[in-house]
Structure 1
């Protein structure tokens, strides 16, 4: 496929834009809004927040669409969480939490700036080329209305772009034979993913599950005895990202090289500000 974009430009743009979406899952504003609905367990709140566009789904649907969660953890909260609040109520609370989070992390001047309006316009334009087939999380979110305020329109577009890429990413993981926990163990070995502590705490796996997955990866020649990626492992992880890039190329090709460059610049600025304001735990990333 021919492309007008520099290598990995779409990936870099996605990573920058996705940071704004991700702040929600580490936000005390989410806990406050969902607590008011009667959802006081943090894991239940985050599972409900992301799965609500799909409707009142159970653990099986979420295991399929989230990929790297332990079904046992999901079954503890789903579908029971929908007895506390409907998906519609959860979506309203999610948007209120996103609003409060962005106001706290970025400040009212940034939210009202021409740059935020420009970023929203660019990100929404990119979503025009997203496709629904075989993309359940993207497609469910695409049925939601676009918020009127620029910062929430930007957050909504970031959500669409995140889930569009994510749905394709799962296809790549499946095609290359990485099961849910193997995918994260190998990703963590790159040093660019959540640390094992954060992963185990949020996905419901046990340390024994992690070690068993690492052993399977060693048997395949993907990890060495120190838990580092081998050359074969490095190539496999890059193949995962290259397939994901290809499956996710349409939004960024539609936006064009200049638009992708500008959106990346704006999104990185917002991401740096959010991180500097404490939007993420200091120990979130790494191999330790």
Structure 2
């Protein structure tokens, strides 16, 4: 297929709606139930296991590096010990069952079996043909997994590929910007688009003191002000990070083409809105406070 240039923000918008549906399973009771059935019960162990399982039975260092904004000591409490409870293959199978149950519950059987779902899966798969493996460990590991036959699972799987492809590139940009994992979270939260500090603390393992220390470092760099808000320099850096992430992630969306991106965004928006209306995410997940 001939590649065409398109507004990089179109790729970003498409990614955002695909990622929204991908992320539903992290907050789903179905995931806890399925992982609990194979012996993985701690919420943090569940999270590390399902996202890292495609990498194989890796250690804490690999997970901390690939996930970037989790405190290493938190990761090390659960990895690699979780692989003694369940193998990566068992975790991946449990994850697939949870995703199936979650999508059927949030979207309904009619949407799951619709021609629109099959169309969205096909478009996403076409976009993913242009993803690259080099320097993208989470994407590359997931790309080794088979594409499910059921359209709703194929759509979710490919949304995961596109999410991890962008995410791996995004981490390279953060390293270049000299933002460590916590500093990246603090600046993202300050935009009003990231998770609240409470959710960061609960899921990423950082203490209030560590958060404040990171904010102090950012204040010293002129990226935050005394109230913890982004300065003009901080806002410019966050926008540059997103633009550079767009650049590194442009290939799948250029490959799909402007019309395909627009249609995939339209379909994905419908599915994401339905999931949101069904209560897919906690009400206090996003925001500055």
Which interval holds the TM-score relative to the shorter structure? over 0.9
Q: Take 2:278 and 2:121, find their aligned partners in 1: how far apart are those partners?
A: 21
Q: Write the mapping of 1:45-194 to structure 2, written as runs, cut at 5 A.
A: 45-194=46-195
Q: Take 2:9 and 2:159, find their aligned partners in 1: how far apart are those partners?
A: 18
Q: In the alignment, which residue of structure 1 is the partner of 2:228?
A: 227
Q: In the alignment, which residue of structure 1 is the partner of 2:198?
A: 197
Q: Take 1:98 and 1:272, find their aligned partners in 2: how far apart are those partners?
A: 17
Unaligned runs of at least 5 residues, structure 1: none
Q: Is the 8 A contact 2:121 2:151 kept in 1?
A: yes
Deviations 1:118-146 (A, max 9, x none): 00000010000000000000000000000
Name segments (4+ residues, structure 1) moved above 6 Å.
none
Q: Is the 8 A contact 2:4 2:257 kept in 1?
A: no
Instruction: State the shift of 1:4 in Å.
Output: 2.1
Count of aligned pairs between the two proteins: 287
Q: Is the 8 A contact 2:60 2:80 kept in 1?
A: yes
Q: In the alignment, which residue of structure 1 is the partner of 2:275?
A: 274
Instruction: State the shift of 1:3 in Å.
Output: 5.8
Instruction: State the shift of 1:5 in Å.
Output: 1.1
Instruction: State the shift of 1:6 in Å.
Output: 2.5
Q: Is the 8 A contact 2:195 2:286 kept in 1?
A: yes
TM-score using structure 1 length:
0.99
SS of structure 2 residue aligned to 1:30: helix
Instruction: State the shift of 1:7 in Å.
Output: 4.3
Q: In the alignment, which residue of structure 2 is the partner of 1:209?
A: 210
Deviations 1:160-189 (A, max 9, x none): 000000000000000011011000000000
Q: Take 1:163 and 1:6, find their aligned partners in 2: how far apart are those partners?
A: 21
